[in-house]
């Protein structure tokens, strides 16, 4: 879980997929919902079947701690967040990208979508592998390059042996 009292988490949904003839809007693809905690490298990215209020609220309650300030766009699925022990601040992207009154923006999560899409192969990608692509992106985002192999081996040992901590 990310967030908590005094922290801000930006949330957004994006569609990952392919464009017909590599032009225009994406037609086929997979919806991904994510959140990025400001001031840290903590984040989450989850494949979702739809981006309706019920689905997104379930993911928010699973991955974001109560009391967190959530910043989002004005997507109607987020309308009930104030009722769920979150402080909800929005930015209307059809008017501006940073709300002039509250300073709310979702630039960090929007940037992470660009970075995540860059990691997914253009050719030979499989719809079944999106979980793996997102896991690799999140791992690379959280761990600095020189420490990645060591961090991966520690994580693999923890998963294999069932330990919560493996000694270095």
What's the pLDDT at 86?
94
Confirm if 34 and 46 have CB atoms less than 8 A apart: yes
Q: Give bridge partners of residue 92 from the DSSP assignment.
A: none
Residue ranges of the domains in the chain? 8-143
Distance CA 122, CA 118 (A): 9
Confirm if 35 and 86 have CB atoms less than 8 A apart: no
Distance CA 100, CA 79 (A): 20
What's the pLDDT at 22?
62
- Tokens 């991955």 correspond to what residue? 63
What's the pLDDT at 153?
87
Q: Where are the alpha helices (DSSP H) in the chain?
A: 53-63, 107-119, 130-142, 148-161
Query: Which tens digit of pLDDT belongs to each residue from 91-114?
Result: 988 888 888 888 888 888 989 888
What's the pLDDT at 28?
72
List, for the chain, all residue ranges whose pLDDT scores fall below the cut of 50: 166
Instruction: Extract the tokens encoding 59.
Output: 């993911």
Angstrom CA distances, 76 to 7, 53, 92, 147, stand at 23, 8, 11, 41
Q: How many CB atoms lie within 10 A of CB 164?
A: 5
Distance CA 78, CA 159 (A): 34
Distance CA 109, CA 36 (A): 6
What's the pLDDT at 32?
93
Distance CA 49, CA 30 (A): 7
**Does domain 8-143 sit in CATH 3.30.1490.20?**
no
What's the pLDDT at 96?
83
Instruction: Extract the tokens encoding 120.
Output: 């997914």
Strands 26-37 and 43-48: antiparallel
């Amino acid at each position: 879980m990310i967030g908590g009292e005094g922290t801000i988490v930006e949330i957004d949904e994006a569609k990952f997929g392919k464009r017909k003839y590599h032009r225009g809007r994406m037609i086929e693809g997979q919806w991904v919902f994510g959140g990025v905690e400001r001031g840290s490298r903590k984040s989450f990215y989850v494949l979702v079947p739809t981006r309706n209020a019920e689905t997104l609220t379930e993911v928010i309650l699973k991955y974001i701690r109560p009391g967190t300030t959530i910043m989002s766009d004005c997507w109607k699925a987020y309308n009930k967040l104030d009722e769920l022990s979150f402080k909800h601040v929005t930015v209307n992207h059809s008017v501006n990208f940073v709300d002039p009154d509250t300073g709310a923006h979702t630039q960090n999560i929007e940037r992470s979508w660009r970075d995540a899409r860059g990691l997914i192969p253009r050719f030979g990608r499989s719809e079944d592998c999106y979980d793996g692509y997102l896991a690799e992106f999140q791992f690379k985002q959280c761990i600095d390059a020189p420490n990645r192999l060591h961090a991966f081996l520690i994580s693999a040992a923890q998963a294999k042996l069932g330990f919560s901590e493996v000694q270095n």
